[in-house]
Each structure stands twice: as structure tokens, then as C-alpha cells.
Amino acid sequence: MRLKSQKAILMLSILMALQMTSYVMILPLFARRFNEFGAGVEALGMSAMAFAITSTLAAPFMGALADRFGRRPLILGSLAAYIAAFCGYLLAPTAEVLIVMRCLAGAFTAGFIPAVTGLAADLAPEGRRAQWIGFVSAGASFGWVAGPIAGGMVYDHLGYNVALIVAILIAIITFLMALLAVPESHVVAAGSLTGAQHSAVNSQRRNVKVYLLQLRSTLPDSLSAFFLLLFIFFAVLFAWAFIEPEFMFYAYNDLGWNSSMLGLVMSTYGAAMVVGELAFGRFSDRFGIKPIILIGLILFSAQFIGLAFFRNYILIAVAFVVAGLGNSLYDPALSASFLDISHEEHRARILGIKFTAGSMGNILGPALVVLVTSSLSASSIFLMAAGVVLLAMIAGSAVRLEVQPSKNEPDSNIGYQKIAIPQPVEDGERSS
């Protein structure tokens, strides 16, 4: 049974790699596209903010749906939404339409990461949860290696439309693989409720006070630790979202990079994350979550310091490598922290709330840079982002984690009792 769980984790990592490759390969190209439409930093910031706003609103509901109906439907639905979104990016005739398409994409893809992480947490042994989540995250990090450089090279040689078509094809392959090979790990208990119980639940939902009490019961017992962890996750995503629009135009206009050069720098970040997550995945299990989070945040800030003080391409790339290693340390440890302090039956919902906190950072970051980009230099914006990460370090030093004990070990055979994987696919799977 453990071998089946490991195969499922491997498949999740592959899906994350493919999905992130298709998504990130077009991320550096939005600045080029908005330039073609005659727009600038403000339009790029608004598109990022639109994506983040709808993700923020949708994430808690997606997490709750994953708890109620299972992880697999949310994964498949989100992957289908990515295909539709990429088609919309390809066909958008104006900057305004492109912003609207990013807005819709945020709403309908928000369930993917909470569902995948929840599935990985269900399958992982308790003592190796951070390691297994880190392995799945390494797949996403691989997307940061392959995606930006591939997108930049395709754009420089063949143009925006071809880059989008390649992304659509990868997204279709990802969906088909998930359809054939992703199991279900979550036991759905809603179907066992009687009609009277359903009526009682519906009645309670009409009562705001009762609903709030129910919401509190789903949160971790240690609210102070929970909110400090939410702030840390908010801060790191805010810091990146704050510099992202400025960084794209700064790289193209001030540093004179082409799309391939920008993609290569972003790929070095992803390569460092892959190496770090595979090499250091068990550090938080061995040495404690808190120190690993703090060390990771210190290294993560290197990218902002490098952009603020260096103009040399190699030095900036090195700074991004250091930052990627930092991300590989703090991110799995932070995810494991949320899971450790949460009740088993509400983990996907907690991950949805975590995703919401990050999305708030993705909203406020671009919103603030749109306001200050005309009055502050690029270096000042990069240093402000470093200051936000410093606040996250302070919060990390103050957090006290109280692990919520699990009721039992996860049953790795649950999904395979419910989902029949076609024999040819199973025979073709690799075990390593």
C-alpha cells in the first residue's frame, strides 16, 4: 500500500511540473503583450491584481469543496479551467479583455493547489509529511525551471501566439494524465447523512452566528500560531507580487534583457527550488520547522537585495539562485506547519484559507506598485519588498507551533478502492 501511495505522490509531482511549466512559460510574456497593446506597468499590475482577487474569493470555497466532494474532482476541474484560460489569453484582442480573462482564470483555477496539497497530505505518513509535500512542490519548481526559459525562447523566435499554443498543448496533456491516473484519497461522508441531518445543516447555515461557530471549529486550536503563519505566507507573496510588474519592465527597458534572458533568470530560481526541495525536504522534520522557515526567509530576500544593488546579469542570477534555495526551505515547512496544527477533517479548508492569505498578498502587492511606480525608483521598490520579508522573519521568530495529533495513519488504499486506473496506464508507470 505504501508503494501505491508513493506512485500517487510521483504522479502528483509530474502533474505539478507540467501544469506549472505551461503556466509559467507565459508569465514573463504578459509584459510584452501589454506593450503590444500600448499599455504598461499599470495594466500588468491590474491584470495580476484581477487574477489574485478572484483567487482570493474562490479559494476558501474550493477548499471546502475538496473536503466535501474529494480532491480528484477539484484537480480535474482546475486543470480544465487552465486550458480554457490559456485559450482566452491567445484570443484576447485588447488589454482590457486580457485583464478580464485573467480575472476569470483566477476564480476557476483556485482549487488546484489546495486539492493537490490536500491529496499529498492524505497519502503521506505523518512523520514524513513535509518531505512528501516538498517532493510534490519540487514538481512545481521544475515548472519554474522549464517554463520561463522555454516561453522566452519560443517568444523570441516564433512569437506570442505560438508560445500560447504550446502552453495549451501541455495543459491538455496534464488534464488527460490526471484523468487517467489521479486517485481519490478523501472519504466523502456527506452522502451518509440522513435527510433530517441535511435539513438541520441547511437550517444552521441560515443562522450567521451558528455558521461562525462552525467556522471556528474548523480552525486550528492555536489561533495565534495560525494567524502568524498566515501573515508569513501573505508577506512572501506580497513581496514578490509587489515587485513583479516593475521587475518585468525594469528587466526589458532598464537592463536591456530580451525574453530569453528574463526567462533564464527565472529558470535559475526554479532550478534552485528543485535542488533545494529534493535535497533539503526532510530538514524541517529533522531540525524543526521554525528555524528552517527563518533561514529560508533570509535566503529568499536575496533576490530583492540583488535587484536593488546589482545591474550585472550574472550577479542578479546568483541572487535568484539563493532566493530559490530559500523558497525550497520555507515553503514545505510552512505548508507542513499549517497541516500539523490543523484537524485532519478540515485540512483542505485550512489550505484554502492559506491560499486566500497568499492571494491577498497578490492583490495588495500589484495594487500598491501601481500607486507608487511613478513616484519611487525601481531600487526603492525592491528594498521595500525586502523590508516586508523582514517583517515575516519577525513573525516567524514569534510563532509557537502546537502539533495537532492525528487520529490514525492515512489509508493509502482509499483512493484505489474508489478509482479504477486502466491497466495499460498502471503497467506503464515508473516506480522512480
pLDDT by position in tens, the chain (length 432): 555 777 888 888 899 989 989 998 888 888 888 888 888 788 888 898 888 888 878 877 776 777 677 788 888 999 999 999 999 999 999 999 999 999 999 888 888 887 887 788 777 776 666 667 777 877 877 787 888 888 889 988 888 899 999 999 999 999 999 998 887 765 554 444 445 445 544 554 455 455 455 556 677 777 888 889 999 999 999 999 999 889 988 998 899 998 889 989 988 888 888 788 778 766 766 777 888 899 999 999 999 999 999 999 999 999 999 999 999 888 888 878 887 777 776 776 777 788 778 878 888 998 898 888 888 899 999 999 999 999 999 998 887 766 555 544 444 444 434 333 334 434 344 333
- Residues in the chain, total: 432
C-alpha cell at 71: 480532491
- Is 431 inside any structural domain? no
Residue appearing with cell numbers 482509499: 414
- The distance of Cα 288 from the centroid of its chain, to the nearest Å, equals 23
User: Is residue 405 left, alpha or beta, with left meaning phi > 0 and alpha meaning psi from -120 to 50?
Assistant: beta
Q: What is the DSSP string of 159-182?
A: -HHHHHHHHHHHHHHHHHHHHHH-
In a domain, 116, yes or no: yes
Residue 372 resides in a domain = yes
349 occurs within a structural domain: yes
CATH code of the domain containing 79: 1.20.1250.20
Q: How many CB atoms lie within 10 A of CB 189?
A: 10
Q: 82-93 in b/e burial notation, b at 16+ Cβ within 10 A?
A: bbebbbbbbebe
How many other β-carbons are positioned within 10 Å of the β-carbon of residue 168?
Answer: 20
Cell of 91: 484570443
Q: How many whole angstroms separate alpha carbon 340 and alpha carbon 309?
A: 39
Half-sphere exposure of 342 (CA within 13 A, CB side): 27
Structural domain span for residue 373: 2-184+222-405
Q: How many domains does the chain have?
A: 1
Phi, psi of 402 (to 5 degrees): -120, 110
Domain assignment present for residue 87? The answer is yes
The answer to whether position 214 is within a domain reads no
**Is there a domain that residue 195 lies in?**
no
Residue 205 resides in a domain: no
